[in-house]
Structure 1
Amino acid sequence: MRRSLAIALSGAALLAGGAFAAGFWARSLPPLPDPAALPYSIEVVGREGRLLRPYATGDGRWRLKAEVSDVDPRYLAMLIAYEDRRFYSHRGVDPVAVVRAAWQWAAHREIVSGASTLTMQVARLLEPRSERTLGAKLRQMVRAIALERALSKDEILSLYLSLAPYGGNLEGVRAASLAYFGKEPKRLSRAEAALLVALPQSPEARRPDRHIDRARRARARVLDRVAEATGIPADEVAAAKAHPVPAQRKPMPALAPHAADQAVAAAPDSRRIELTIDERLQRALEILARDRADTFGREVAVAIVAVEHASGEVLARVASPDFFDKERAGQVDLTRALRSPGSALKPFIYGLAFEDGLAHPETLIDDRPARYGSYAPENFDSTFQGTVPVRRALQLSLNVPAVALLERVGVARLTARLSQAGGGMVFPKGEAPGLAMGLGGVGVTLTDLTMLYAGLARQGMTVPLVERRSDKALARPPSRLLDRVAAWYVGHVLSGTPPPDNAARNRIAFKTGTSYGYRDAWAVGFDGRRTIGVWVGRPDGAPVPGILGRTAAAPILFDAFARTGDLPAPLAAAPKGAILSANGRLPLPLQRFSADGEGVRPRNRVRIMFPPNGARLELATADGRLEPVALKIAGGVEPLTVLVNGVPQQRASGRMLSFDPMGPGFVRLTVVDGKGTADSVMVRLQ
């Protein structure tokens, strides 16, 4: 007994002496690897910092960086109680544990407990060594003392939480919690916390996916020791022991996989990439897309984009129902695929007509057979509605009125305006823009179409969609799509579109579209906060007989809004200048639309002589105010009415008229005479 005690004391003295000599020995050792330079997994996170998708390191390990604030306090308390009770009081080496280890070494002639503190374990993880010798233990002590001098306790603990092994290619408590429990370690049960404490002691021998009984026994030992140290009630310990141990690993999170892959490709050197995507909404819409795609058949896919239209931030982007589904070409990004929008571009035709003073939502327009050269548009059901208000023509998506308005607005002007606003319009190779563009004869992506509709919600100004937070500072300034009044007219009309069956009316403004041959079904809509776009079709572009925007895409759109978790926000109030009148109270030229603009052209038709169409006018100021802009009119019958961007300004009997400019920008000027004939020009004020 005396001999063992002497050996123990000498061993303790040796270990203690090694600890006190750390400052001298440390100078001869190479520096520890820099913790900041360790190869951690790339993490793509959402708008609230929640993990969307991690990527394994180059050697195939899941090593997710963890801070003390990332884990459940109950787990931390259990870890310290089991591994290192005096963690917050020692300086890297625990003298009490050293004496205990020396005694055990003397009694058994081998290292039993090792006296390892959490700091020493971090040192071993930073500088892995396989041998369990006295020299190796002294080296860990030296390294631990150096770590304590350089880092705070929380920094050391964070390194342990990031580097501790949990079996296989799992390193760190976050990777283990995700793999075994399918969640971050922020909230853990007592049974889960005990298992995570037990595994690093012998990670391969206790892996629950391979040795579930050993994992259960190791968890029980942790629970017993912690209960003894902290006084956990026996019934709670028994309940934790009875809790099932996970028998297999769960897949790592893979939300927004297309967005994550694209973000990593754009910033391959970043370890943490922040997206604007809302993790909860992304998960809900991925489930929605997967469930709805299954109802259409194995080869049909669904794509969804949701944006916050005030900022342009992408809240969710479901680019395919299942990233790993080869039959649906799951790795193809269908939110960025060029597709025919069908009737989904019609709102912008009407918007330009409103802006130009050609029509008002209550203007009457004919839905009758018409021909434009060799082109004779027909409605989807091959019927005609006769004379209807423009509002109803848009809500019913009638083709003939839309083409008539497009012919007056101009295809080139519509194309230029949409492109100027950021919407990339792609026409078939070798084809020039034509009237068929209004019915889907152009290619557009779901992302761009959603951005354009968000411009309607933003009162006529588009902002580029942003998905990576680092791109916000580089985003271009807002672009003009429509003037405020015209954009509000469109949104107000679309809010009255009949919704799908069993959906509430007047909650969102939306429009559907179906491309020629039943290849693409669309629905895009907005409330006062968000804009969501939905596309349904086959990734290879093949027809899907009977697929329609109204019956296939619109129900998904309304369901997507329901899954945001909020009631639809109210649309913006009518802006200044909007005319809220019945047809009979509108200015005469706005009461009924005529395809030629004037019905029977009088010989003495009204004309704007100045400024000419396309002119650039310099704004003048007097006493700090913008001076009126003069107009010179010829022909027509008095009285004359001036409309600025479709809003009546004044009636006068003279030929020299004027209007008060609001500021720099494009302005559509229209003059209407007493017989209802009109002339219009577009000028730029600067």
Structure 2
Amino acid sequence: MAVPALAVLAVYAAQVAGRAELRAPAPTPVLTDRHGAFLTQLGHESGAPDGRHVDYGYWPVTPPERVARAMLALEDRRFRSHPGVDPVALLRAAWQNLASLRRRSGASTIAMQVARMQDPAPRTLWVKAVEAGTAVALTLRYGRDAVLAQYLRLVPYGNGSHGIGHAARFYFDKPAGDLSWAEIALLSAIPQAPALHNPRNPAGLARAKARGQRALATLAAQGAIGPEEYATAIAQLAAMTLPPLPLRPDALHLVLRLRDMVARQGIAGLDPTDARLRTHIDLGLQRRVARLAEARFAALHQDGARQMAVMVVGRGTREVLAAIGSAGYADTPGGAFDYTAAARSPGSTLKPFLYALALQREVLRPDEVIADLPDRSLGIGNADGGFLGPVLPRQALANSRNIPAAALLRRIGLETAFRSLRDLGLHDSAEPAAYFGLSMAVGSLPTSLDRLLRAYGALAGDGMLGDLLWYEGQPAAPPHRVLPEWAARQVTLFLADPQARLPSFPRHGTTEYPFAVALKTGTSQGYRDAWIVAWSRDYLVGVWIGRDDAATMAGITGGLGAGALAQAVLLDLHGTSADALTAGGFPAPEGTAPVALCARTGRPDDGACGPTLLEWLPAGSALAATAEPAPPADALAATASRLSVVTPEHNSRLWRNPEAPARLNRIALRAAVRPQAAQVVWYVDGEPFAVADPNETVYWPMAPGVHRFQVRLPSDEAVSRPVRIVVE
């Protein structure tokens, strides 16, 4: 008999030793938006007989004294005196169970419950004995306070919530240390039977309140609560109603992306005791963008559009503020796909990177005239079938001409461009560059909206490329330089010039704004995809419109289809309307000077070249030097001492409102003359405009384009320095 007994004892000791450690699942995060509004929570999923089951919480906690007292009052009154097993409770339970055939009295201590929660098993006598031994071992090894903290980390509070830290946030949206006595009593009542005491249904709430009253009475008897506190707590508990259950917003694609990113990349610096993960999403903005998208998408649906995606990113921070993954998750064709991450033909949206690369590698100059003319060797034509002839790079890119872009790609080299686009994160294709050929410039290389926004962040960020940031603690490498600052700024200025977009994009349409915006549209072959990426001083916005089956749409382009939505979003972001006027623009490359160039020849404006464009050229270049020939020394002295244009300011950029009355679309011209003279003559674009008293304000009606203002004296060679402005 001794040998079997020793064998049983050895098995028992081994099982107790194997369980005598404190173990807990990893804390599960609650995701909020950037302002703390509930977004979703991520849990531990497991299979269950009745289907999928998710557990939340397990936040480690230092038990607040009041919470500990309430829990011990209900679950283990002699916790501080027994070694993990309560002999008194065991004897009482045994007597009660023998005396009654129906009643079963338990004797589980806090430590025994910890052992059971860590290693759940069917409730046999052997299992109970192992739990008792484990309880003693845990208490001896870690001490009572650690065992109590473990209990309050693991104990279930119903509705998937585990641990007092999570339950306090889940039910009352506050830390456990801030719970009132009434709230503590209610939560302490739940663990004995979470389903029976579920506070989210009326019957369960009533039972939890009744059990909570018992806890308060015990605490009052122990002197833990004074008479006034007890009366207040009883009244509050009786009247208690729970705040509404936090609901996930209607942004399932966003939630699923965040869930996958957290599972794949992890979280750096998350506080496990209060595992709220703050994302960079702005739920208020997310809802506004969704409403704007829904309103404008409805008009495109009749032309064959069936899906869309929108993203908003902080320009300086790279933080993702809003992301709409589809036109409707469950109620649109293919709506379950997240089109912010879907690879599609990008149309012309890769062209800006080719121009930036060409500038960087010095195979293109901003003042170089390039040909938009038929070229059969390219195998590519313009989308409109026409040609603009000789154009400046600013015009070629702003008009999204295919022939100049393909020719530029040939000059750069397929392999070089292909590698550069990969370095920008726009693709990870295993195919060789030759597989795509020159059509890479017009959309043959697939990419996705989120990849585009990341790469365009380098253009908008002075050449620095960094990951898009979705949540705090997201592992991300520091931004690194992929383009020279001057090249990124030059391309930004190309794309921010409404005048340069003519004639392909009409003025005052979906691609024009009352503030400085750089943008690039894209339309894939057969109108299968319509894109736009646009950025202002503060925001970067990307829009894609298409179909789930990649079929054609009826003439929906990036400029008209996607452009209208991007415009609505940016106007909302800036809190303005299309007819407002806002000063400001994008910075020019360091060490450059503005030069008005003849659009057809690239030479400085001599006053007789027709259309002009304002270009930024190196300050020491020959063109910049000859753009403003220096007057004779005596005339320069007279200019400096006698005449100057006070307003408008040199190199200012102004916007004309076509819907405003003519009296409002004008510029005030003011001059300074020392010593005083009887009259001055105002010259606009080299032609006399008005004769006026030097102190008189003259008004000039605005006209789009680049303009030059000077003041002269009627009977003197003196002339002011020219002031150039751009009217859009």
Mean Cα displacement is larger for which, 399-408 or 184-193?
184-193
Deviation at 1:372, TM superposition (A): 4.3
**Contact 2:529–2:544 (CA under 8 A) maintained in structure 1:** yes
**Contact 1:174–1:184 (CA under 8 A) maintained in structure 2:** yes
- How many residues of Structure 1 are paired with residues of Structure 2 in the alignment? 559
Structure-2 change in CA distance of 1:260 and 1:355 (3 Å): same
Question: What is the CA deviation profile of residues 245-269 of structure 1, one whole-angstrom value per residue up to 9, with x for unaligned ones?
Answer: 68999679975314534764799xx
Q: Does 1:279 align with 2:269?
A: no
Partner of residue 422, structure 2? 419
Partner of residue 209, structure 2? 219
Q: Does 1:443 align with 2:446?
A: yes
Q: How does 1:640-655 map to 2 (within 5 A)?
A: 647=618
Structure-2 change in CA distance of 1:142 and 1:512 (3 Å): same
Partner of residue 605, structure 1? none
Partner of residue 19, structure 2? 33
**Contact 1:457–1:487 (CA under 8 A) maintained in structure 2:** yes
Partner Cα distance (2:475, 2:96) in 1: 66
- Residue among 343, 364, 368 paired with 1:338: 343
Partner Cα distance (2:164, 2:276) in 1: 26
Deviation at 1:444, TM superposition (A): 2.0
- Residue among 350, 353, 356 paired with 1:351: 356
Q: Could you tell me which amino acid in structure 1 is paired with residue 490 of structure 2?
A: Y
Partner of residue 156, structure 1? 147
Partner of residue 534, structure 1? 543
Q: Does 1:207 align with 2:198?
A: yes
Partner Cα distance (1:244, 1:301) in 2: 43
**Contact 1:485–1:576 (CA under 8 A) maintained in structure 2:** yes
**Contact 1:118–1:157 (CA under 8 A) maintained in structure 2:** yes
- Residue among 67, 78, 83 paired with 2:59: 67
Q: Does 1:125 align with 2:117?
A: yes
Structure-2 change in CA distance of 1:38 and 1:404 (3 Å): same
Deviation at 1:584, TM superposition (A): 5.2
Deviation at 1:485, TM superposition (A): 1.0
Partner of residue 595, structure 2? 582
Partner Cα distance (2:495, 2:281) in 1: 25
**Contact 1:525–1:533 (CA under 8 A) maintained in structure 2:** yes
**Contact 1:308–1:530 (CA under 8 A) maintained in structure 2:** yes
Mean Cα displacement is larger for which, 343-352 or 45-54?
45-54
Partner of residue 488, structure 1? 489
Q: Does 1:543 align with 2:552?
A: yes
Q: Does 1:56 align with 2:56?
A: no
Partner Cα distance (1:353, 1:395) in 2: 16
Percent of aligned positions with the same letter in both sequences? 28
Mean Cα displacement is larger for which, 157-166 or 44-53?
44-53
Deviation at 1:352, TM superposition (A): 3.6
Partner of residue 685, structure 2? none
Partner of residue 620, structure 1? none
Deviation at 1:415, TM superposition (A): 3.5
- Residue among 278, 295, 306 paired with 1:300: 306
TM-score by length of 1: 0.60
Partner of residue 652, structure 2? none
Question: What is the CA deviation profile of residues 16-48 of structure 1, one whole-angstrom value per residue up to 9, with x for unaligned ones?
Answer: xxxxxxxx9996862363666656687697999
Deviation at 1:281, TM superposition (A): 0.4
Partner Cα distance (1:339, 1:71) in 2: 53
Partner of residue 325, structure 1? 330
Helix, strand or coil for the counterpart of 1:343? coil
Structure-2 change in CA distance of 1:544 and 1:33 (3 Å): farther
Structure-2 change in CA distance of 1:560 and 1:36 (3 Å): farther
Q: Could you tell me which amino acid in structure 2 is paired with residue 216 of structure 1?
A: A
Partner Cα distance (1:93, 1:549) in 2: 70
Q: How does 1:244-283 map to 2 (within 5 A)?
A: 244=241, 256-258=255-257, 260-261=259-260, 264=263, 279-281=279-281
Partner Cα distance (1:139, 1:379) in 2: 78
Q: Could you tell me which amino acid in structure 2 is paired with residue 204 of structure 1?
A: A
Partner Cα distance (1:375, 1:265) in 2: 43
Deviation at 1:56, TM superposition (A): 0.6
Partner Cα distance (1:161, 1:500) in 2: 61
Structure-2 change in CA distance of 1:199 and 1:448 (3 Å): same
Partner of residue 717, structure 2? none
Q: Could you tell me which amino acid in structure 2 is paired with residue 212 of structure 1?
A: P
Question: What is the CA deviation profile of residues 373-406 of structure 1, one whole-angstrom value per residue up to 9, with x for unaligned ones?
Answer: 58674465x7877887654654454556656655
Partner Cα distance (2:73, 2:585) in 1: 56
- Residue among 443, 452, 456 paired with 2:455: 452
Deviation at 1:525, TM superposition (A): 3.9
Q: Could you tell me which amino acid in structure 2 is paired with residue 334 of structure 1?
A: Y
Partner Cα distance (1:107, 1:404) in 2: 93
Partner Cα distance (2:276, 2:89) in 1: 53
Structure-2 change in CA distance of 1:325 and 1:404 (3 Å): same
Helix, strand or coil for the counterpart of 2:191? helix
Q: How does 1:452-601 map to 2 (within 5 A)?
A: 452-463=455-466, 478=480, 480=482, 482-495=483-496, 505-506=514-515, 509-526=518-535, 531-545=540-554, 547-554=556-563, 557=566, 574-577=588-591, 579-583=592-596
Q: Could you tell me which amino acid in structure 1 is paired with residue 521 of structure 2?
A: T
**Contact 1:42–1:56 (CA under 8 A) maintained in structure 2:** no
Question: What is the CA deviation profile of residues 180-212 of structure 1, one whole-angstrom value per residue up to 9, with x for unaligned ones?
Answer: 789998987887665433221122323356x63
Partner Cα distance (2:326, 2:159) in 1: 31
Partner Cα distance (1:407, 1:389) in 2: 18
**Contact 1:358–1:590 (CA under 8 A) maintained in structure 2:** no
Q: Could you tell me which amino acid in structure 2 is paired with residue 515 of structure 1?
A: S
Question: What is the CA deviation profile of residues 340-373 of structure 1, one whole-angstrom value per residue up to 9, with x for unaligned ones?
Answer: 2223223223324443556666x48689764545
**Contact 1:179–1:250 (CA under 8 A) maintained in structure 2:** no
Partner Cα distance (1:72, 1:508) in 2: 54
Mean Cα displacement is larger for which, 143-152 or 74-83?
74-83
Q: CA RMSD in A?
A: 6.0
